[in-house]
């Protein structure tokens, strides 16, 4: 992927503090060729990894100044050899955070090589390893994994400010520009195109989809939204709609309680059905009543909520019927001296203090960080031949300073972006994925968001759903990984083929 045409028209007058010209940034992509045996047979493919320069138009006093380099975004791309780009789908992939690299979807489920991280509560010990992924999405689609600014190997250009891109609007612009640039240089405007995002990556995905259409006229074939959060108000325990968050989390609390033996002799489906009915009915009514509840009514809700969540009646009463999710992680197994993960409630960790109000770290992140960090640092250099040696930021601290100024005074909500692109494109299909043990983006909150989409008749038929007995990342654990990978592959094949 050459940037010569862009460089010729780029602004080159940037200087360092001592007045010398600063070297113009250039794309840095290394190419390598590979084969892999998949469940569909052997594939030969080309991998490219490195960084692509992102530029912005400079206009001063209504006078065009040229294109100024702003960032160098890291990508790893896979293209099937000898495939026709006019009919071959291409999927652009990113994770969330904000502040997370794409390593999780890349080496967890979609790429041709994946980290051998083990299963929940039985993580692989160091030293770690990679293995082939027979279910890779490369069977159905070319892949471009994107690390947004300050994640992975993505950085601002020398003399630039990364924090300018640590916010909803600029984040959307940089990712959309990279996609536009890639499709232009690689002649992929006529290819079936998909976006796949996880967690905040779903917020990003629908926003990027709307931006691509509104600004460039680019239409997509499909969106894969894994552990989605499009309306932050459905899970906000702090400022906006505290009671709504409580309602959203009860089914997930019940699922995690069941996993850890608090509903002995009952099936998960039965427990979830009761929790969903309780949250939609008696619990919603009780929270809305506030201090108008009688003592008997309150006692009944305390008993039912404690029974479902696995928390003690005393705790439920003292938290005023409103257990918060981070505190739930600490309280559920306090009698065992353990905490459960926020990202994946199946995973347990040691409680750092018997009287701690909250856990000091998420054990589900601790369990998978080592294998994925080791795998990506090894893989990009040893197998894909990159010569970059700067730290690969699996997570950055961008989330601590993320700007949502466009939503000031109102909930962070991008549902309208999804509605817009689904109205504008009657062929766009969407796949939502949910994890029952996910406390980061609870499945009931995401389901509620989908249920309130304002779409024309028939549009809901273009939305499909998949539920997993997993946490935030359905691919943690081989059995669920295979199920998820096959589901996404099937979705892309159906949505990417001509009607």
Domain architecture of the chain: domains with CATH: 4-11+26-233+393-495 (3.40.50.1820), 244-364 (no CATH)
Write out the DSSP string of 157-199. Answer: PTT--GGGGSBHHHHHHHHHHHHHHHHHHTT-TTS-EEEEEET
Q: Determine the pLDDT at residue 4.
A: 39
Cα–Cα distance measured from residue 434 to residue 49, given in angstroms and rounded to the nearest whole number: 30
Q: Determine the pLDDT at residue 122.
A: 83
> For 261-317, how does the pLDDT look when each residue is reduced to its tens digit (9 = 90+)?
999 999 999 999 999 999 999 999 999 999 999 999 999 999 999 999 999 999 999
pTM confidence score: 0.93
Kindly calculate the radius of gyration of the chain based on its CA atoms and give it in whole angstroms. Answer: 24
Q: Determine the pLDDT at residue 7.
A: 35
Report the Cα 254 to chain-centroid distance in Å.
Answer: 24
Entry field: residues in the chain: 499
Q: Determine the pLDDT at residue 24.
A: 86
Q: Determine the pLDDT at residue 11.
A: 39
Contact 140, 485 (CB under 8 A): no
Q: Residue 17: is the preceding peptide bond cis (ω within 30°)?
A: no
Positions in the chain short of pLDDT 70: 1-22, 239-241, 498-499
Q: Determine the pLDDT at residue 440.
A: 96
CB-based contacts of 1-6 (< 8 A; 24+ apart in sequence) = 1/27, 1/29, 1/48, 1/52, 1/182, 1/185, 1/186, 2/27, 2/185, 3/27, 3/52, 3/53, 3/185, 6/53, 6/55, 6/67, 6/181
List Cβ neighbours of 139 (8 Å cut-off, separation of 6 or more). Answer: 38, 39, 40, 43, 489
Contact 224, 488 (CB under 8 A): yes
Task: Tell me the three state secondary structure of residue 364.
Answer: helix
Task: Tell me the three state secondary structure of residue 397.
Answer: helix
Nearest to 203 by CA among 27, 418, 403, 421: 418
Q: Residue 98: is the preceding peptide bond cis (ω within 30°)?
A: yes
Q: Which helix (H) or strand (E) holds 306?
A: helix 295-309
Q: Determine the pLDDT at residue 3.
A: 43
Cα–Cα distance measured from residue 405 to residue 454, given in angstroms and rounded to the nearest whole number: 25
């Amino acid at each position: 992927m050459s940037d010569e045409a862009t460089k010729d028209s780029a602004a080159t007058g940037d200087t360092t503090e001592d007045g010398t010209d600063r070297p113009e940034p250039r794309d840095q992509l290394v190419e390598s060729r590979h084969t892999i045996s998949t469940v569909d047979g052997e594939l030969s493919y080309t991998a490219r990894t490195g960084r692509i320069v992102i530029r912005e138009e400079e206009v001063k006093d209504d006078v065009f100044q040229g294109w100024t380099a702003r960032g160098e975004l890291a990508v790893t791309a896979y293209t099937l050899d000898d495939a026709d780009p006019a009919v071959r789908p291409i999927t652009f992939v990113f994770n969330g955070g904000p502040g997370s690299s794409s390593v999780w979807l890349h080496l967890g489920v979609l790429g041709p090589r994946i980290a051998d991280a083990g299963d929940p509560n039985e993580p692989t010990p160091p030293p770690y390893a990679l293995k082939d992924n027979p279910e890779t999405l490369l069977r159905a689609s070319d892949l471009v994994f994107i690390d947004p600014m300050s994640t992975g190997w993505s950085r601002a250009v020398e003399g630039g400010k990364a924090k300018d891109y640590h916010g909803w609007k600029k984040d959307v612009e940089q990712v959309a520009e990279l996609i536009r640039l890639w499709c232009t240089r690689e002649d992929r405007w006529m290819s079936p195109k998909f976006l796949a995002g996880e967690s905040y990556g779903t917020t990003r995905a629908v926003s990027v989809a709307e931006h691509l259409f509104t600004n460039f006229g680019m239409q997509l074939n499909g969106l894969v939204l894994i552990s989605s959060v499009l309306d932050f108000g459905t899970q906000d325990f702090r400022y906006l709609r505290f009671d709504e968050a409580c309602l959203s989390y009860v089914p997930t609390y019940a699922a995690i309680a069941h996993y850890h033996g608090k509903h002995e002799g009952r099936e998960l489906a039965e427990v979830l059905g009761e929790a969903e009915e309780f949250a939609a009915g008696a619990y919603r009514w009780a929270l809305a009543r506030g201090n108008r509840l009688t003592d008997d009514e309150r006692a009944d809700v305390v008993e039912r909520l404690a029974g479902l969540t696995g928390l003690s009646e005393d705790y439920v009463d003292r938290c005023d019927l409103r257990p918060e999710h981070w505190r739930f992680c600490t309280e559920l197994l306090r009698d065992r001296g353990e905490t459960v993960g926020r990202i994946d409630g199946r995973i347990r960790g040691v409680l750092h203090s018997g009287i701690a109000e909250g856990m000091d770290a998420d054990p589900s992140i601790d369990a998978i960080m080592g294998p994925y960090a080791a795998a990506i640092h090894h893989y990009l250099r040893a197998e894909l031949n990159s010569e970059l040696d700067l730290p690969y930021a699996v997570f950055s601290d961008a989330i601590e300073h993320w700007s949502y100024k466009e939503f000031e005074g109102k909930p962070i909500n991008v549902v309208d972006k999804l509605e817009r692109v689904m109205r504008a494109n009657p062929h766009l299909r969407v796949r939502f994925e949910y994890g029952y043990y996910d406390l980061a983006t609870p499945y009931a909150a995401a389901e509620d968001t989908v249920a309130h989409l304002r779409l024309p008749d028939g549009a809901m038929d273009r939305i499909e759903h998949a539920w997993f007995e997993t946490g935030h990342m359905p691919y943690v654990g081989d059995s669920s990984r295979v199920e998820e990978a096959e589901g996404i592959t099937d979705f892309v094949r159906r949505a990417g083929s001509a009607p």
